[in-house]
């Protein structure tokens, strides 16, 4: 068999856009013949899949996995190109499997390089490439976050909203190891996760978590408002402080009115559950994903496209 050099692998990769390992395997199968290697990749659906990798993937699913003891959880976003594929059972199954597998990864790159738990002769990346070829759309593991609350005797819970377009992961810190198994604690964690999903302006657990530079920025904005220009400095300071306090509370979870009982704040809800269970409970952290947020989506102007095609005929 011809020696498969790194240069040869790189050349095939440049021609096809396929991954290094796939190119190396293709060249081994074709005894180092570049053209046959291209054909081999096309037959396996790999070359066709990689050509789809530059397509914008802003649809897909946000999903979650919580381990049976309720102390480890994952929130993951996997993107595809269309809502149609996002609702496909094969795609949904892939996302669910990746959420579970991401409990043992600390980055997207690490996850992609792992053997895929449902087909261990392939890496996660290779399995995704095959799925791209099958479904005909680009698929990207965009991000995930995993929480482990075992050191805090805590509980992890999640909430998925609007068919996988919004997802939240929450971690509670508790005073005893038995707390995470109590239904009241689980229910609190679920309700807090739902609260975070319903409050898109909330970014922090409490006011003390807000960086000082952000507080100063808010103050600078308020001090420069036109309606305060003619106010005496002492009056201006009081008005600005009141506005800042209100703004900071809008950004913090504990200060929010509970969505199921507006007369109770989230902070009070936590205290009530702690009293009922005899546990010390606090909210450690949370994360919220909104599907496709921050992705530059291509705007399709089909009318112009059709007109251009008709004009060229």
Predicted pLDDT at 139: 94
DSSP code of residue 297: P
- Our CA dihedral for 128, 131, 137, 143, rounded to 10 degrees, sits at -30
Is residue 165 a contact partner of residue 289, using CB atoms and an 8 Å limit? no
Q: What gap in Å lies between CA 124 and CA 115, rounded to an integer?
A: 6
Helix (H, G, I), strand (E, B) or coil at 90: helix
DSSP state of 261: E
Residue range 6-44 in CATH 1.10.8.10: yes
Q: Which residues pair with 157 in a beta bridge?
A: 170
Tens-of-pLDDT digits for all 313 residues of the chain? Answer: 567 888 888 888 777 767 778 888 889 999 888 888 888 887 776 765 555 555 678 899 999 999 998 999 999 999 999 999 999 999 999 999 999 999 999 999 999 999 999 988 999 999 999 999 889 899 999 999 999 998 888 999 999 998 899 999 999 999 998 888 899 999 999 999 999 999 999 999 999 999 999 999 888 888 878 888 888 888 888 999 999 999 999 999 999 999 999 999 999 999 999 999 999 999 999 999 999 998 876 554 444 544 544 454 4
Q: How far is CA 206 from CA 213, 251, 262, in A?
A: 16, 8, 18
Beta bridge partners of 77: 62, 143
Start-end of CATH 1.10.8.10 domains in the chain: 6-44
Q: Which residues pair with 170 in a beta bridge?
A: 157, 286
Strand 155-161 and strand 59-66: pairing?
Answer: unpaired
CATH code, 55-148 = 3.30.479.20
- The answer for residues whose C-beta is within 8 angstroms of residue 18's C-beta and 6 or more apart is 12, 26, 41, 46, 47, 50, 129
Three-class SS of 177-245 = CCHHHCHHHHHHHHHHHHHHHHCCCCCECCHHHCCHHHHHHHHHHHHCCHHHCCCCHHHHHHHHHHHHH
Torsion angle of the four alpha carbons 227, 233, 234, 237, in this order, in degrees rounded to the nearest 10 = 60
| C-alpha dihedral (205, 207, 208, 213), degrees to nearest 10 | 110
Q: HSE-up of 167 (CA within 13 Å, CB side)?
A: 27
Q: Where in the chain is CATH 3.30.479.20?
A: 55-148
pLDDT of amino acid 309: 44
């Amino acid at each position: 068999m011809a020696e498969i050099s790194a240069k040869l692998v790189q050349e095939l990769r440049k021609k096809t856009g396929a991954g290094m390992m796939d190119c190396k395997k293709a060249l081994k199968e074709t005894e180092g013949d570049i053209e046959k290697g291209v054909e081999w990749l096309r037959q396996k659906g790999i070359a066709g899949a990689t050509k789809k990798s530059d397509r914008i993937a802003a649809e897909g699913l946000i999903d979650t996995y919580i381990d049976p003891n309720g102390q480890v959880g994952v929130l993951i976003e996997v993107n595809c190109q269309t809502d149609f594929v996002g609702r496909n059972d094969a795609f949904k199954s892939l996302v669910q499997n990746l959420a579970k597998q991401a409990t043992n990864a600390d980055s997207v790159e690490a996850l992609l390089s792992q053997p895929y738990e449902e087909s261990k002769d392939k890496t996660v990346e290779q399995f995704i490439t095959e799925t791209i070829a099958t479904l005909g759309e680009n698929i990207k593991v965009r991000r995930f976050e995993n929480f482990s609350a075992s050191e805090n005797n805590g509980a992890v819970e999640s909430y998925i909203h609007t068919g996988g377009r919004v997802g939240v992961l929450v971690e509670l810190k508790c005073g005893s190891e038995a707390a995470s198994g109590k239904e009241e604690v689980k229910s609190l964690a679920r309700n807090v996760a739902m609260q975070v999903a319903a409050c898109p302006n909330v970014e922090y657990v409490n006011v003390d978590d807000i960086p000082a530079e952000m507080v100063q920025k808010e103050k600078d904005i308020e001090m420069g408002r036109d309606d305060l220009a003619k106010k005496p400095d002492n009056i201006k300071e009081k008005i600005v402080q009141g506005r800042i306090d209100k703004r900071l509370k809008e950004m913090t979870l504990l200060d929010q009115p509970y969505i199921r009982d507006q007369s109770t704040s989230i902070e009070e809800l936590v205290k009530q559950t702690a009293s009922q269970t005899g546990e010390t409970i606090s909210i450690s952290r949370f994360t919220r994903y909104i599907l496709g947020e921050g992705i530059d989506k291509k705007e399709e102007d089909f009318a112009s496209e059709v007109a251009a095609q008709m004009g060229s005929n």
